[in-house]
Amino acid sequence: MGIQIIGAGMYVPETIVSNEDFAKIVDTSDEWITTRTGIKTRHIADGELAYQMGAKAALRALEDANMAVEQVDMVLVTTVTADCLTPSLACMIANEIGIEDAICMDINAACAGYVFALDIAKKYLDSGDLQTVLIVSAEMLTRMIDYTDRSTCVLFGDGAAATIVKKSDSLYASCIKSSPKGAMKIYTKLPEPKHPFQTKTYRWNDEDVAKAPIGMIQMAGNDVYKFATTAMPQAVELAAQKANISLDEIDLIIPHQANVRIINTAIKKLKLPPEKFYINIEEFGNISSACIPLGLAQLKAAGRLKQGDKICLVGFGAGLTYGAVIFEY
Q: Which residues are catalytic?
A: 111, 256, 286
Among 111, 160, 267, 281, binds ligand UT7 (CB under 6 A): 111
Nearest-angstrom CA–CA distance, 156 and 189:
18
Question: Sign of torsion, CA 183 185 190 194?
Answer: positive
Question: Minimum distance from CB of 182 to ligand UT7 (Å)?
Answer: 11
**Residue 187 lies near ligand UT7 (rule: CB under 6 A):** no
Residue 314 contacts residue 236 (beta carbons within 8 Å)? yes
Among 20, 213, 222, 274, binds ligand UT7 (CB under 6 A): 222
Query: Which of helix, strand or coil describes residue 296?
Result: helix
**Residue 134 lies near ligand UT7 (rule: CB under 6 A):** no
Question: Minimum distance from CB of 200 to ligand UT7 (Å)?
Answer: 34
**Residue 218 lies near ligand UT7 (rule: CB under 6 A):** no
Among 137, 259, 265, 321, binds ligand UT7 (CB under 6 A): 259
Among 79, 163, 286, 321, binds ligand UT7 (CB under 6 A): 286
Q: Which amino acid is at 138?
A: A
Query: Which of helix, strand or coil describes residue 143?
Result: helix
Nearest-angstrom CA–CA distance, 288 and 271:
26
For every residue of 108-137, DSSP letters joined together read --GGGHHHHHHHHHHHHHHHTS-S-EEEEE
**Residue 163 lies near ligand UT7 (rule: CB under 6 A):** no
Residue 329 contacts residue 306 (beta carbons within 8 Å)? yes
Residue 111 contacts residue 288 (beta carbons within 8 Å)? yes
Nearest-angstrom CA–CA distance, 138 and 125:
22
**Residue 186 lies near ligand UT7 (rule: CB under 6 A):** yes
Among 21, 69, 144, 150, binds ligand UT7 (CB under 6 A): 150
Nearest-angstrom CA–CA distance, 280 and 262:
14
Contact region with ligand UT7 (CB under 6 A), list: 27-35, 173-181, 297-305, 306-314: 27-35
Nearest-angstrom CA–CA distance, 271 and 295:
22
Question: Minimum distance from CB of 33 to ligand UT7 (Å)?
Answer: 6
**Residue 145 lies near ligand UT7 (rule: CB under 6 A):** no
Question: Minimum distance from CB of 244 to ligand UT7 (Å)?
Answer: 30
Query: Residue 317 pairs with which residues in a beta bridge?
Result: 321
**Nearer residue to ligand UT7 within complex by CB, 121 or 154:** 154
Question: Minimum distance from CB of 278 to ligand UT7 (Å)?
Answer: 16
List binders of ligand UT7 among 46-105 (CB under 6 A).
Answer: none
Nearest-angstrom CA–CA distance, 103 and 187:
28
Among 16, 21, 30, 32, binds ligand UT7 (CB under 6 A): 32
Binding-site ranges for ligand UT7 (CB under 6 A): 28, 32-33, 36-37, 111, 150-151, 154, 186, 219, 221-222, 224-225, 228, 258-259, 286, 317
